[in-house]
Each structure stands twice: as structure tokens, then as C-alpha cells.
Structure 1
Amino acid sequence: METYERIESVIHGFKLSSLTYKRVMHLLHEEMKRGLCNKSHNRADIKMFPTFVRALPDGSEKGNFLALDLGGTNFRVLLVKLNGKDVDIQSKTYLIPQRVMLGTGIQLFDHIADCIKKFITEHDLQNQKLPLGFTFSFPCKQEGLAKARLSQWTKGFRCEGVVGEDICRLLHEALHRIKINSIEVVAVVNDAVGTLMSAAHSDRQCEIGLILGTGCNACYMESLENVGLWEEDRDHPNQVIINTEWGAFGDNGCLDFIRTEYDRELDNFSINPGKQIMEKMISGMYMGEIVRLVLERLAMDELLFSGIDKESELFIRGRFYTKYVSEIESDNDEFFRNTKQVLDELGIENYTSEDCKIVKYVCTLVSARAAFLSSAGIATLINRLKKKTMTIAIDGSLYRFHPRFHNLMVLKIRELVNPGHKFKLTLSHDGSGKGAALVAAVATRLHEKKIAVQ
């Protein structure tokens, strides 16, 4: 067998037909319906959580709003001033010390409250009543727009006394302990919802939000009549944003027909085997490792990097970063400058131009499959919503920095959506800050409108 035929036999599993992606779309839609239905929700992999966000910005939002963005060792406090379409944002980033991350919940929320106090003092906001939108990027069970219970800590946090508790209540109590009673947490959101709200402020046709970064998730605006999980009142507006949590699509084995041996190996050695199957084929946390596993196989089969030292960093799990994929695919000439720099960083010696070409080829196949799977998901939502024109708001480092992701998605969505649908993909700016404040602003507007009607 010729060398190139042997290489194709190693990587052919990443080349999927349009018919295959349409089968993925059908399976995804069925799983989404299961997640929305009360009877089947507990068995569904895609949870389709109602977010309690019932309306998008309409451009009439005015006033000062605080936003809090907590998702790692740093967190931000933001002052967002809204005046119609005009938005002014001032923010400050604060550090969360290791001792606080590993301490008690009271210590954590006291630290956050103390930083909020410093922020409002610096901006002379002590005497203003301020609604606050809280982006809390940890797994939560949402029970209301301003009620979310922490399911588990991630990202190095281990504060005792918080799991199972309402994080909005804990923040309110911390604010009251330092005599701040002018701030009300009116909404807690995840990053997908923030992404959607931020873009919808200037684009009324935006009803889908997508995260393509370390993780992968989507949300969209759904009619309440389709949400069997909804147990609240069904007053106007008759809609709610659904957080799909579609990264878990395939956990029941329904995507096994498209998984490669490299997907299975990555999954087996992950911290959550059998979980987040779709996310593991798309997101930035995993893409580099899939490429590394393919390159490792090609090297072991002596189809790449002839005579490579088996102690090379290419053979170390997690050592091939997703940012390398973006850098390698940015090479647009025969000199392979970025590819060579990556191979040098990995300590690979005596590589040839042909090796560089193969490395780039592997990257393009793995990233194209990721872009096409994302597209299948978005096309499923576009077809479900049945709007003639639709904007999809996207955020995340994978979408931002990969040179071909946007164009690949546009081409594949166009191929997969039902005839007559127009769409555009737009990069959303600061969903975790601006988006969270807009959720608070819309909630305030709807509340005031309700009072006025009564």
C-alpha cells in the first residue's frame, strides 16, 4: 500500500458525509425533545434546562446595572450603563486567593462582597439602588431567574458549605453582613445565555447563543408550549431561553457510529469517561489531544517523523495544545513557519516539509469535523425555530482564533438547513459582563411592566 493510502486509512474516520451529519441532526432533535419532556427528562442526556430568561433586550433598557463574572481565579465586577443602544462599561478584575478558593463559602462570598464594596465606593455608587446580573460559570440547578443551587465545584474551587446552596442567597447574605442593602441580585446566568443577550441587544434577529471555547454549549429561545418542564406561570412573554447543555449529546451511545479510535482513547483517559461525548469531539479542551493521538499513531506506524525519539513530547498526553491547531492552520505558504515553530517547541527534530504538510492535513480534518458537528447542532436549532432570518451569537477562543472555523460553519450550515432559511454568525462581545447586565435590565423592565399592569 502506498504511503498516502496508509495515511488515509489512519484518518479516514474524520471525513463524514452530509448524510451522516443529517443523521446526527435527527438524533440531536430527538434528544432535545426528550430533554424538554417531563416524562423523559430524567433519562435524557441533553437536559434542556429552562433558564427563566423570558425576553431579549428591546433597546429600551436604561439605567445603571452591576454585573459579576465569576468563573476562575479572577473575577470581574462591572458597571454597565445602558441608554437605549448606547452601552458604557467600566470594570475591574479582582484576584481570588488560593486560601479563599479552598476555604469556606462564607469566606468566598465575604471576599466577593468586599470587592463589590470597593468597586461601588470607587465609582461613587453607594446611594444608588443597583440590580445585579451574576455570571456564575459552575454547574448549577436553576430554580428561578435569581435562584441557582451549586451542583459541584470545578476549576480548582473547593469552598465548603456551598454545594446544594442557592448562590444568590449566599451573595445577598454576604452583602448584608457589610451593610450593603442597595444591591439586588436579579439574575444568575451562564456564559451561553450571556453571549445570546449581548448580541441580541443590537440585533433583534438573534435567538441562538453558542459557546465554542474550552467547552461547547448552546442556548436558544423556545416557546413555552414546547417546554414540558415549565412549572411556573405561562403569562406573557410565552417563551423562555433554554440552556441545552448539548455537550452531553452522545453519552447514551447514539454517536458511537461516528466516533474514531482516537475519540475513544481520549475519552478513556479523560477525568469523566463516557460523559460529554459531543463536547469531546468539538471543544478546545480536547481538539489538540485528538490531533496528538493521530500524529502519535502516524509516527508509530513510521508514516511521519522518521526516526523520532520515543521520548519526544509528542508522546506526552495533553502536550499538543489546541492553540497549535489554529497556529498550524494559519500557515498559508510552503514554508510552514508556524508548523515548524510548533514542532520545535515539541522537541521534534529532523522533520521534513512533507511531515509539515501531513501535520497540517491532520489538523484540518480534526478541526473541520468539529466545525461541521457544531454546524449540525446550529442547523438543527434553525430548522426547529422556523424563522426566515436568524442571527447566531458565538463566543469562545476556538471560534475567535481558529482561522477557518467561521467559514467552515457558514458553508456547512447553509448545506444542512431547510430551504428558505437565511442566517448569519456573529461574534458576541463580553457576554459574561454586558450579557449578564442585560439579563438584569430585561428582568427589571419586565418586573416594572408587571407592576404597572397590576
Structure 2
Amino acid sequence: MGREFQTVLAALLKILPDYEDMLVENLVRPFILKDEDYKLLMDIMLGEFNKGLGKETNPTAKVKMYPTYVRDVPDGSENGNFLALDLGGTNFRVLLINLNGQEVTMESKIYLIPQHIMTGTGEQLFDHIAKCIHKFMSNHDLLKEKIPLGFTFSFPCKQIGLNHAILTQWTKGFKCEGVEGEDVVRLLHEAIKRRGDIDVECLAVINDTVGALMSCAHSDRDCAIGLILGTGTNACYIEKLENVGLWDGDYNEPNQVMINTEWGALGDDGCLDFVKTEYDRQVDKHSINPGRQIYEKMISGMYMGEIVRLALEKLRKHGLLFGGKGSEELSTRGRFYTKYVSEIESDVDDHFKNTKQVFEELALEKYSDEDCRIAQYVCSLVSTRAAFLASVGVAALLNKMDRQDVTVAVDGSLYRFHPHFHDLMEEKIQQLVKPGIKFKLMLSHDGSGKGAAIVTAVANRLRDSGKESIGENGLEN
């Protein structure tokens, strides 16, 4: 009897790892979407883009498709000194940029935005920005000069001119009161005026997608899409004026305008519910803006680490990770950083050096190589889904533009530092684009600085030449 029991036990122990794998698979399977799901998503996105572009349908559209009043890519004649401001996350940058044909030189300084300012008043925020500008100009002996400025403001805005942008809603952890519904350039100019010790005029306000596009277009005129995959996600692209029902400018050549899609809000009406997981719902519920920016929350760096943490915690609670024992860090919301996902997926052998380092930082005491393998698997599922979801959006834009050759400018920490994001996107976009469309993904180098300067340089040139403004709400003379 004893021998029979031992034989049965040995057989059970052989089956157990497979059974545990099956349990793990069941808990994370919702992250794995079918090809048909991605194709359906692309059709949904195209419909949402057209809804946002339509004059009648835009008021109820979640994806707002704002015209940016930027009509063309640079021609290479832009030159001079320009300041650029870059506000799009917890860090704020001031840059001094010199353009001379294809040559670009840049100096920049990063300033932190404290948490109390991110959630304080608009006046506090813009006073802080003006103070940083003064500090930067002082350090570069620029206080006696009048320098044109470009402002990369990477939040959802309704652009009513090249240097007028109304903030529609804060995202990415900002909640400053008195800014939503206001012109951010006016608020910046008021803060500069309150100081009275710097002579700066903002000629253009853009978001980081336009900056990424313009920066790459400086060296590649086929660039027609700007994509951000960082703390948040968004995209812009060049659209024919005949398709822009919201356009209120002139119809002179070129008959096109860059559209800021604000695609992060896709799904705010429930159209993505069929691919949402319980983990996505939890992330949304505990976010600063529940029910909003659903597509962004399934892709971007602000949320990816938390999605992984929730999945790992669920596996742990089911006794499938860390022997069922976690840590205070692992159970703390927001403590599993998105950089951990990139680090864990960068492990290329069975030593799991990076993964073990992450576990140490999370104060996990008991873990095995199998735990490392499972964590790596969960990270890869979440990041692959994010890359594929972003690819759906890019493919939808490529199919909509129907140009033969398009360069896609991409910027953002998620795309830059994740070891597989680029390859995953190339693979999925290729599956989804119409036959005959060629594309390439190009890393945009400092688009939010250089791009803002290029747009400002064009605006400055137009103003100096005394040309007409680009529409009733466009560039002011």
C-alpha cells in the first residue's frame, strides 16, 4: 500500500507544476487578445476619429481630434535662438535652442514640479514656471534679450490659434484649479507679467505629439504622424482640410493641418469595455480621473506598473507566487513602477538578475526562479497588449491618411526603454495596414523641445515677413 501511495504522490507532484501553470494562465488570460479583437478595435478607432473630425458629431465625440493650426513640416530655412518650455509630467524643462539650417544646438535644464503645486492653484503653477524661466535665463545671460518662446503643453487642449490653447481637462496626476477652460498661454503671459523681470513672448503652443513630429520632420519630410508613449499616450497626424469639419482657418496651400487626436480618451464611452480586464477596472477606479482616458490607462507608463502589480498580487493571493507571502511594498498601490516592467523583461537568461533586483527593492523575502519566470510572463503579457493597442491606433491613422510612405515619429520613456516595444509595434502595425502602405518608426530626439522651437521659428518667420495670419483664430500678426 505504501509503495502505491508513493507512486501516486510522485505522479501528482509531476502534474502539479502543469496544474499551477494552468491556474496562472487562467488569471492572466484576459490580457491576451485575439487578432479579430485588434481588427475590430481598429474599425472602432477609425469611426471615433471621423466622429471627432465632424462638426456636427464632435460635441459628443470622446476622441476630440483638435486642429493644431500647424499646417506644414519645416523647410530647413528656420534659424535663430528660441526658448522652449516643456510641461507634460512631473518634470518641467526650459530649453535654449539654436536653429541654423539642419544644425540644431540645445541646452536645457529640468525643474521639478512639487506635488503641492501639481494639485494647487493655476496661479501657483504658472508662477512656478515663470520663476524657472527666470532662473534659466539668468544662468544663460539672456535677461536683457527678447526671445520668442514655444510652449509644449502636453495635456488635452482645444487649440483656437497657434498661440491660444484652452485646457479641456487635466491628466497625468495634475489637478490645478482655475486652469481647465482657460487659455494656458494667457496664464503664462500673466505670470511673466507679474514677475516683470523677463521679456518673453509665447508665439506657439503645441503638445508633445506635434513636437515629436516636427522634430523628426526636420530631417525626414515623410514624417506625418507623431506618437507619444510615455507617462501618457497621444498621437497627431497630418489631415486633409476637406476632412476637418472643425476647420475655421483659410484654405490656402498647403491644404492640410496637423490634428491632435487626444486618443487617450478612446473608450470613455464604453467602446473598449469588451477588452478591459478586472485589473484595468481597478486601475481606473483608483485613478485621479475615473471613467476618463481609458485607452491611455491600458497602454501608458503611468499605469502599466500598477496593472502588473495587481496581477502579481492576485497570483500571490491564490498561492501561485512567492509561496503566498508578499510584502508591504507589493501591496501598496503605485509602488510597482513601470520601469520595473522594462527591467524584468530585459533579463535574457535564467539567472533573472534584474528580476531578483526588483524583488529585493519590493522587500520580497521568499522567491524562486519559477516566481521570476511567472513575473516575467505577466510583464510581457501586459506590455505586449500595450504595444499592440498602440499599434492599432497607428495603423488606423496610416490607413486613414492612405499615403504610400510615412515616417512615424515616436517619443516617450515607455517606447525608449522597453526592450521589445519597437519590434512588437512593427509586427502588429504590419499586420493591420493596407497593402502597399510603407511605414517606419523613428525615435524622435527631444521633440518636445526641438519641435516647439521649430514651430516657433516658423511662426516668427511668418510674423517678421508680415504675412497674413493663418485664419481668424490662427497666428496673430
Q: Same fold (TM over 0.5)?
A: yes
Provide the rounded CA distance (Å) in 2 between the counterparts of 1:47 and 1:289.
Answer: 27
Provide the rounded CA distance (Å) in 2 between the counterparts of 1:377 and 1:155.
Answer: 20
Provide the rounded CA distance (Å) in 2 between the counterparts of 1:322 and 1:145.
Answer: 34
Matched-pair identity in %: 63
Query: Could you list the per-position Cα deviations for residues 261-309 of structure 1 after superposition, in whole angstroms to 9, with x for gaps in the alignment?
Result: 2222222232322221111111111111111222222222222222x33
| 1:147 has 2:145 as partner | no
The corresponding residue for 1:32 is 49
| 1:323 has 2:311 as partner | no
Q: Which moved more, 1:401-410 or 1:347-356?
A: 347-356
SS at match of 1:314: coil
The corresponding residue for 1:286 is 303
| 1:16 has 2:33 as partner | yes
**Alpha carbons of 1:91 and 1:323: their partners in 2 closer, same or farther (altered >3 Å)?**
closer
The corresponding residue for 1:76 is 93
**Alpha carbons of 1:2 and 1:71: their partners in 2 closer, same or farther (altered >3 Å)?**
closer
Once the two structures are TM-superposed, the CA of residue 49 in structure 1 deviates from its matched residue by: 1.0
The corresponding residue for 1:371 is 387
Alignment of 1:83-122 (within 5 A): 83-94=100-111, 109=126, 112-113=129-130, 115-117=132-134, 119-120=136-137
The corresponding residue for 2:78 is 61
Provide the rounded CA distance (Å) in 1 between the counterparts of 2:256 and 2:166.
Answer: 23
The corresponding residue for 1:395 is 411
Paired residues, what number?
453
Once the two structures are TM-superposed, the CA of residue 139 in structure 1 deviates from its matched residue by: 4.2
The corresponding residue for 1:421 is 437
Q: What are the ranges of 5 or more consecutive residues in structure 1 without an aligned counterpart?
A: none
Once the two structures are TM-superposed, the CA of residue 134 in structure 1 deviates from its matched residue by: 1.1
**Alpha carbons of 1:195 and 1:343: their partners in 2 closer, same or farther (altered >3 Å)?**
same
From 371, 375, 382, give the equivalent of 1:359.
375
Q: Which moved more, 1:398-407 or 1:441-450?
A: 441-450
- The one-letter code of the counterpart of 1:336 is F
Q: Which moved more, 1:143-152 or 1:405-414?
A: 143-152
- The one-letter code of the counterpart of 1:378 is V
- The one-letter code of the counterpart of 1:253 is G
SS at match of 1:316: coil
Once the two structures are TM-superposed, the CA of residue 165 in structure 1 deviates from its matched residue by: 3.3
From 216, 239, 252, give the equivalent of 1:222.
239
The corresponding residue for 1:208 is 225
- The one-letter code of the counterpart of 2:189 is H
From 254, 257, 262, give the equivalent of 2:274.
257
Query: Could you list the per-position Cα deviations for residues 375-418 of structure 1 after superposition, in whole angstroms to 9, with x for gaps in the alignment?
Result: 11111111111111111111111111111111111111111111
Provide the rounded CA distance (Å) in 2 between the counterparts of 1:413 and 1:26.
Answer: 14
Provide the rounded CA distance (Å) in 2 between the counterparts of 1:144 and 1:79.
Answer: 24
**Alpha carbons of 1:112 and 1:354: their partners in 2 closer, same or farther (altered >3 Å)?**
closer
Once the two structures are TM-superposed, the CA of residue 3 in structure 1 deviates from its matched residue by: 2.3
Provide the rounded CA distance (Å) in 1 between the counterparts of 2:29 and 2:451.
Answer: 41
The corresponding residue for 2:362 is 346
Once the two structures are TM-superposed, the CA of residue 2 in structure 1 deviates from its matched residue by: 2.4
- The one-letter code of the counterpart of 1:55 is D
Q: Which moved more, 1:293-302 or 1:103-112?
A: 103-112
**Alpha carbons of 1:24 and 1:200: their partners in 2 closer, same or farther (altered >3 Å)?**
same
Q: What are the ranges of 5 or more consecutive residues in structure 2 without an aligned counterpart?
A: 1-17, 470-477
The corresponding residue for 1:197 is 214
Conserved in 2, the CA contact under 8 Å of 1:56 and 1:442? no
Provide the rounded CA distance (Å) in 2 between the counterparts of 1:85 and 1:236.
Answer: 24
The corresponding residue for 1:408 is 424
Q: Which moved more, 1:30-39 or 1:63-72?
A: 63-72
Q: TM-score, normalised by structure 2?
A: 0.86
Provide the rounded CA distance (Å) in 2 between the counterparts of 1:186 and 1:328.
Answer: 43
Provide the rounded CA distance (Å) in 2 between the counterparts of 1:102 and 1:350.
Answer: 39
**Alpha carbons of 1:80 and 1:49: their partners in 2 closer, same or farther (altered >3 Å)?**
same
Provide the rounded CA distance (Å) in 1 between the counterparts of 2:24 and 2:118.
Answer: 47
The corresponding residue for 1:430 is 446
- The one-letter code of the counterpart of 1:69 is D
- The one-letter code of the counterpart of 1:207 is A
From 42, 46, 55, give the equivalent of 2:59.
42
Conserved in 1, the CA contact under 8 Å of 2:298 and 2:304? yes
Alignment of 1:226-305 (within 5 A): 226-305=243-322
**Alpha carbons of 1:219 and 1:302: their partners in 2 closer, same or farther (altered >3 Å)?**
same
Conserved in 1, the CA contact under 8 Å of 2:156 and 2:262? no
Once the two structures are TM-superposed, the CA of residue 123 in structure 1 deviates from its matched residue by: 4.3
Once the two structures are TM-superposed, the CA of residue 142 in structure 1 deviates from its matched residue by: 2.0
Once the two structures are TM-superposed, the CA of residue 176 in structure 1 deviates from its matched residue by: 4.8
**Alpha carbons of 1:37 and 1:301: their partners in 2 closer, same or farther (altered >3 Å)?**
same
Q: Which moved more, 1:130-139 or 1:244-253?
A: 130-139
**Alpha carbons of 1:449 and 1:381: their partners in 2 closer, same or farther (altered >3 Å)?**
farther
**Alpha carbons of 1:94 and 1:446: their partners in 2 closer, same or farther (altered >3 Å)?**
same
Conserved in 1, the CA contact under 8 Å of 2:28 and 2:311? yes
- The root-mean-square deviation of aligned C-alpha atoms, in Å, is 2.8
Q: Which moved more, 1:372-381 or 1:191-200?
A: 191-200
The corresponding residue for 1:170 is 187
**Alpha carbons of 1:105 and 1:296: their partners in 2 closer, same or farther (altered >3 Å)?**
closer
**Alpha carbons of 1:100 and 1:19: their partners in 2 closer, same or farther (altered >3 Å)?**
closer
Query: Could you list the per-position Cα deviations for residues 293-350 of structure 1 after superposition, in whole angstroms to 9, with x for gaps in the alignment?
Result: 22222222222222x3355533332222211111110110011111112222222233
Once the two structures are TM-superposed, the CA of residue 118 in structure 1 deviates from its matched residue by: 5.3
**Alpha carbons of 1:149 and 1:353: their partners in 2 closer, same or farther (altered >3 Å)?**
same
SS at match of 1:426: strand
Provide the rounded CA distance (Å) in 1 between the counterparts of 2:172 and 2:32.
Answer: 34
